[in-house]
Amino acid sequence: MAPRQIGPVEKMAKKTVYVCDGSCHGAATEEQWIAGAKTCSATGCNMHGMPLKRREIEA
Ligand SMILES: [Zn+2]
């Protein structure tokens, strides 16, 4: 029976998201951003049409 190594889960699980600073508080995943969601598309948001800001969060 082989001992199973259990190391510390120090994987730096960071996730990149793209967020709107406007009133919609919307966020796009990196996949959505690459697919073209580079600006806020929320109707009525005060930052509508403005570029989303890149942010790294703990996944
Ligand atoms: Zn917005």
* Helix/strand/coil percentages in the chain, nearest 5: 10, 30, 65
Q: In the chain, which ranges are continuous DSSP H helix? A: 30-34
> How far apart are the CA of 33 and the centre of ligand 1, in A?
14
Provide the residues around ligand 1 (an ion) whose CB is within 5 A.
20, 22, 24, 26, 40, 42, 45, 47
pLDDT of residue 59: 78
> How far apart are the CA of 58 and the centre of ligand 1, in A?
22
Task: Let me know: does 16 contact 55? Beta carbons within 8 Å.
Answer: yes
Task: Let me know: does 48 contact 22? Beta carbons within 8 Å.
Answer: yes
pLDDT of residue 22: 97
Digitized pLDDT (tens) for each residue of the chain, 59 residues in all: 667 776 666 667 899 999 999 999 999 999 999 999 999 999 999 999 999 999 999 87
> How far apart are the CA of 40 and the centre of ligand 1, in A?
5
pLDDT of residue 31: 96
